[in-house]
């Protein structure tokens, strides 16, 4: 089962900086199964410009939920999907996966996604045989930096690739 994920952070790398919030969407028609988490900072280091992208102030994020609790809720949500195979996919998996993977291992000791992820942009480039191509015109939901909206828009693009462009992919 493909899970489209998007994260917002207050800096470029996990551990030194914090994941502020993230959203996940099960890639399936309707895109109705979603998860959203907001996490309290794990570090005193933060970049005001990076944090501004999320739309939250430092004062606001200091009041967010404990990261361990959020990651446990996410793991429970993923477990309730009752699938044998979870596939992490995102627009920028090098960034998004690094934070989610680090947080899962740091706070829970394991990552339900395993050790790999997929990149939506690379998938699209291969589908159209053009390393300069961009999938973002396939989104229906506006890219707002709300991580659920952004994950939903990216999931819409993946569904379009499957349904309209002939991408051979099993979303089960």
Residues marked as catalytic: 145
C-beta contacts of 110-115 below 8 A and 24+ residues apart? 112/75, 112/78, 112/79, 112/86, 113/3, 113/86, 113/87, 113/88, 114/86
Q: Is 103 exposed, middle or buried (0-12, 13-18, 19+ CB in 10 A)?
A: buried
């Amino acid at each position: 089962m493909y899970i489209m994920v998007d994260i917002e952070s207050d800096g470029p790398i996990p551990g030194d900086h914090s994941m502020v919030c993230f959203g996940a969407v099960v890639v399936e028609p309707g895109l109705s199964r979603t998860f959203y988490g907001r996490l309290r900072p794990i570090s005193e280091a933060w970049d005001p410009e990076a944090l501004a992208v999320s739309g939250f102030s430092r004062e606001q994020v200091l009041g967010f939920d404990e990261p361990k609790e959020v990651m446990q809720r996410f793991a429970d949500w993923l477990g309730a999907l009752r699938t044998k195979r979870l596939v992490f996919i995102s627009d920028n998996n090098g960034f998004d996966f690094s934070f989610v993977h680090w947080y899962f291992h740091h706070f829970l000791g394991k990552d339900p996604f395993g050790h790999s992820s997929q990149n939506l942009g690379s998938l699209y480039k291969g589908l159209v045989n053009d390393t300069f191509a961009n999938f973002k015109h396939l989104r229906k939901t506006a890219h707002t930096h709300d991580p659920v909206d952004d994950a939903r828009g990216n999931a819409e693009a993946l569904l379009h690739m499957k349904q309209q462009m002939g991408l051979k992919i099993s979303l089960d």
